[in-house]
């Protein structure tokens, strides 16, 4: 297993070991002792999966506020996506900065996103299956979100979409900017 630090401390890209032969392949997608050695000391309590039928589907940017904040270990098990994490921790030296990684069924890559980050992804193929391992349960009252195209954050979706109009939920179309959002994360205090 290979771990790559991103420009934002704590956000990690994980390349799992894949063992293949003429029958197919095997990869270990999670082992608590191994991930703890990598510094991922969270107790995952829920696994989620989403399916996106259309290429150009954009989900995000979302989070859950404390006390239901979630760290996420995400991967794409069918198709290909660009996954994005945005630092939304008020007072953080990297507040408003973002990192992205391509996740696909071919690269078996994972992305670890700690609490205090907005998360979203863009499908680059049709029929995408996306997996989330999270360390807190879903709580509707704790939902938070921001516009995917917030100009102050400036995630470069445009070059990824290549002129395609993104497929968005109504909630994601009308979301607030990061500044307008109900973001309750404070660097060094609750995340």
State pLDDT tens for residues 18-38.
Answer: 999 999 999 999 999 999 999
Distance CA 13, CA 102 (A): 10
Known active-site residue 62 = yes
Q: How many domains does the chain have?
A: 1
Q: Which pLDDT value is given to residue 165?
A: 86
Residue 184 placed within a domain: no
Residue 91 placed within a domain: yes
Q: Is 47 helix (H, G, I), strand (E, B) or coil?
A: strand
Catalytic residue among 30, 68, 132, 187: 132
Known active-site residue 30 = no
Residue 112 placed within a domain: yes
Q: Which pLDDT value is given to residue 163?
A: 80
* DSSP-derived secondary structure for 49-88: EEEE-STTBEEEEEEE-TTS---EEEEEEESEEEEEEEE-
pTM above 0.85, yes or no: yes
Catalytic residue among 30, 62, 68, 187: 62
Q: What is the mean pLDDT of each run of 10 residues along the chain (191 residues)?
A: 96 95 92 93 96 96 97 98 98 97 97 98 97 97 96 90 88 93 92 77
Distances (CA, A) of 144 to 5, 44, 151, 180: 26, 20, 18, 11
Distance CA 66, CA 54 (A): 32
Q: What's the CATH code of the domain at 101?
A: 2.60.120.10
Which domain range does residue 157 map to?
A: 2-173
Q: Which pLDDT value is given to residue 191?
A: 77
Residue 189 placed within a domain: no
Tokens of 52: 């996106």
Residue 89 placed within a domain: yes
Residue 181 placed within a domain: no
Residue 180 placed within a domain: no
Task: Identify the bridge partners of residue 64 per DSSP, sorted by sequence position.
Answer: 143
Q: Which pLDDT value is given to residue 52?
A: 98
């Amino acid at each position: 297993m290979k771990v790559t630090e991103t420009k934002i401390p704590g956000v990690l890209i994980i390349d799992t070991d894949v063992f293949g032969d003429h029958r197919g392949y095997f990869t270990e997608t999670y082992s608590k002792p191994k991930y703890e050695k990598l510094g991922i000391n969270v107790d995952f309590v829920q696994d989620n999966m989403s399916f996106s039928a259309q290429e150009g589907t954009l989900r995000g940017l979302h989070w859950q506020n404390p006390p239901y904040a979630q760290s996420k270990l995400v991967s794409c098990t069918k198709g290909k996506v660009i996954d994005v994490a945005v630092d939304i921790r008020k007072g953080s030296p990297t507040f408003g900065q973002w990192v992205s990684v391509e996740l696909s069924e071919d690269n078996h890559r994972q992305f670890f996103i700690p609490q205090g980050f907005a998360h979203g992804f863009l499908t680059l193929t049709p029929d995408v299956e996306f997996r989330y391992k999270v360390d807190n349960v879903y709580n509707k009252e704790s939902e938070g979100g921001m516009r995917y195209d917030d100009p102050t954050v400036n995630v470069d979706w445009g070059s990824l979409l290549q002129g395609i109009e993104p497929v968005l939920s109504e909630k994601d179309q009308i979301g607030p900017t990061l500044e307008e959002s109900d973001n309750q994360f404070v660097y060094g205090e609750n995340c």
